[in-house]
């Protein structure tokens, strides 16, 4: 079967063309396949499982905060529904292709043929309206998948600004957040962060993307770095032996910003790591993955 296309223009340029039904259906099927491949690749990129944490400290952040996980779940469910709809359309188109009669290959096909030129009839009761509705549905699914992809990109950028990555790889947790005996004078005192013991010179990495708002020396923290991440979140990295970033620098999650040392008020080489929310110290364990 075929469609008739009439092109209008000058007397010499006017004419009539036919487009086969198989070509139209094949093109639609290929479009559906492309949408499925795009959706599957996006789903794998967003929701691929991460590696389990090691007994000490993992080198990457495998999870995000609970509210971020909930938003990702919403995007995942919507994407799967769109893929299901695209699959149903693809199956319908395959059935239509199966009903299209094949051209005869007998020698009689070379014999003389003729007759008036009439509009083609679609097979199996399928009408041009049906095809138009399927085309509209495919366009709608394509638009929705595009919107999900845009939302996923924004979600990924937002997660990069949450301090979920461990600032040291393979280090040992030596002190937790909260009240403790001060390691210098032995008195009861509040510890505003977490301490990670590591060898001097070990790279200290940004727990999240942001802007360096302080990089210098402090009597209590020694050589330290503070990074502002937006939404009232600030991370602090203290007691370094050397800084490799300056104030105003833009850093990505995982970038090296300093090296472990024992400067300031410290008993030995380690990283003192803090997370501040609207200026108040909060337990970094609420954000860091794998702890």
Name the band, by pLDDT with cuts 50, 70 and 90, for residue 55.
very low
**pLDDT tens profile 228-261:** 998 899 999 999 999 999 999 999 999 999 999 9
Residue 23 CB coordination number (10 Å): 11
Q: Give the range of the structural domain holding residue 184, as residue numbers without chain letter.
A: 172-286
Name the band, by pLDDT with cuts 50, 70 and 90, for residue 207.
very high
Judged against a pLDDT cut of 60, whether residue 267 lies above it is answered with yes
Examine the domain organization and report whether 94 and 209 are in the same domain.
no
Can you list the pairs that 59-62 forms with residues at least 24 positions away whose Cβ atoms lie under 8 Å?
59/166, 59/169, 59/170, 60/165, 61/164, 61/165, 61/166, 61/253, 61/288, 61/289, 61/290, 62/289, 62/290
Q: Is 113 inside any structural domain? A: no
Q: Is 192 inside any structural domain? A: yes
Between 111 and 13, whose confidence is greater? 111
- pLDDT of the residue at 7: 45
- pLDDT of the residue at 96: 52
Match 């950028």 to its residue by tokens.
Answer: 157
C-alpha neighbours within 13 Å on the C-beta side of residue 98: 6
Judged against a pLDDT cut of 60, whether residue 101 lies above it is answered with no
Examine the domain organization and report whether 136 and 16 are in the same domain.
yes
Which range among 7-11, 142-146, 244-248 shows the weakest confidence by mean pLDDT?
7-11
Examine the domain organization and report whether 198 and 148 are in the same domain.
no
- Mean of the pLDDT values across residues 5-19? 46
- pLDDT of the residue at 171: 78
Q: Calculate the alpha carbon distances from 218 to 221, 236, 237 in Å.
A: 5, 12, 12
Between 70 and 282, whose confidence is greater? 282
Q: Is 27 inside any structural domain? A: yes
- pLDDT of the residue at 290: 59
Q: Is 166 inside any structural domain? A: no
Examine the domain organization and report whether 19 and 102 are in the same domain.
yes
- Counting residues of the chain whose pLDDT is more than 70, the rounded percentage is 53
Q: Calculate the alpha carbon distances from 229 to 53, 127, 162 in Å.
A: 25, 57, 7
Q: Is 291 inside any structural domain? A: no
Radius of gyration of the chain (CA): 32
Name the band, by pLDDT with cuts 50, 70 and 90, for residue 75.
low
Between 92 and 233, whose confidence is greater? 233
Examine the domain organization and report whether 192 and 138 are in the same domain.
no
- pLDDT of the residue at 8: 45
- pLDDT of the residue at 58: 44
Q: Is 279 inside any structural domain? A: yes
Examine the domain organization and report whether 10 and 30 are in the same domain.
yes
Contact status, residue 131 vs residue 93, Cβ threshold 8 Å:
no
Examine the domain organization and report whether 53 and 150 are in the same domain.
yes
Name the band, by pLDDT with cuts 50, 70 and 90, for residue 133.
confident
Domain of 280, CATH number, reads 2.70.70.10
Examine the domain organization and report whether 42 and 9 are in the same domain.
yes
Q: Is 57 inside any structural domain? A: yes
Examine the domain organization and report whether 12 and 48 are in the same domain.
yes
What distance in Å separates the CA atoms of residue 267 and residue 41, rounded to the nearest whole number? 50
Name the band, by pLDDT with cuts 50, 70 and 90, for residue 128.
low
Domain total for the chain? 2
What distance in Å separates the CA atoms of residue 271 and residue 221, rounded to the nearest whole number? 10
What does the mean pLDDT of the chain come to? Answer: 74
Examine the domain organization and report whether 216 and 262 are in the same domain.
yes
Domain of 102, CATH number, reads 1.20.140
- Mean of the pLDDT values across residues 21-30? 57
- pLDDT of the residue at 170: 80
CA-angle at 85, arms to 94 and 98, nearest 5°: 10
- pLDDT of the residue at 208: 93
Between 278 and 109, whose confidence is greater? 278
Examine the domain organization and report whether 249 and 202 are in the same domain.
yes
- Mean of the pLDDT values across residues 266-280? 95
Q: Is 65 inside any structural domain? A: yes
The residue among 131, 160, 189 that closes a domain is 160
Judged against a pLDDT cut of 60, whether residue 50 lies above it is answered with no
CA-angle at 24, arms to 18 and 29, nearest 5°: 170
Examine the domain organization and report whether 194 and 261 are in the same domain.
yes
């Amino acid at each position: 079967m075929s469609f008739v296309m009439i092109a209008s223009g000058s007397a010499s340029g006017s004419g009539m063309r036919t487009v086969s039904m198989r070509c139209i259906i094949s093109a639609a099927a290929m479009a559906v396949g492309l949408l499925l491949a795009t959706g599957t690749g996006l789903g794998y990129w967003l929701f691929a499982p991460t590696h389990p944490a090691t007994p000490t400290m993992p080198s990457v952040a495998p999870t995000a905060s609970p509210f971020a996980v909930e938003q990702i779940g919403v995007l995942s469910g919507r994407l799967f529904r769109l893929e299901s709809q695209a699959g149903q359309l693809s199956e319908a188109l395959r059935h239509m292709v199966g009903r299209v009669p094949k051209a005869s290959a007998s020698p009689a096909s070379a014999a003389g043929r003729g007759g008036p030129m009439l509009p083609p009839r679609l097979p199996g009761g399928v009408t041009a309206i049906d095809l138009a509705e399927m085309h509209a549905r495919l366009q709608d699914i394509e638009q929705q998948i595009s919107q999900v992809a845009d939302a996923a990109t924004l979600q990924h950028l937002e997660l990069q600004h949450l301090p979920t990555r461990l600032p040291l790889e393979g280090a040992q947790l030596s002190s937790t957040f909260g009240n403790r005996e001060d390691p210098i004078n032995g008195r009861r005192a509040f510890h505003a962060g977490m301490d990670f013991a590591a060898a001097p010179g070990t790279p200290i990495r940004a727990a999240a993307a942001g802007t360096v708002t302080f990089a210098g020396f402090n009597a209590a923290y020694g050589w330290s770095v503070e990074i502002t991440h937006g939404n009232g979140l600030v991370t602090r990295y203290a007691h370094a032996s050397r800084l490799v970033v300056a104030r105003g620098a833009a850093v990505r999650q995982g970038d090296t910003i300093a090296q472990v040392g024992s400067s300031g008020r410290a008993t030995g080489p380690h990283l003192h790591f803090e997370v501040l929310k609207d200026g108040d110290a909060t337990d970094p364990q609420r954000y860091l993955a794998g702890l």
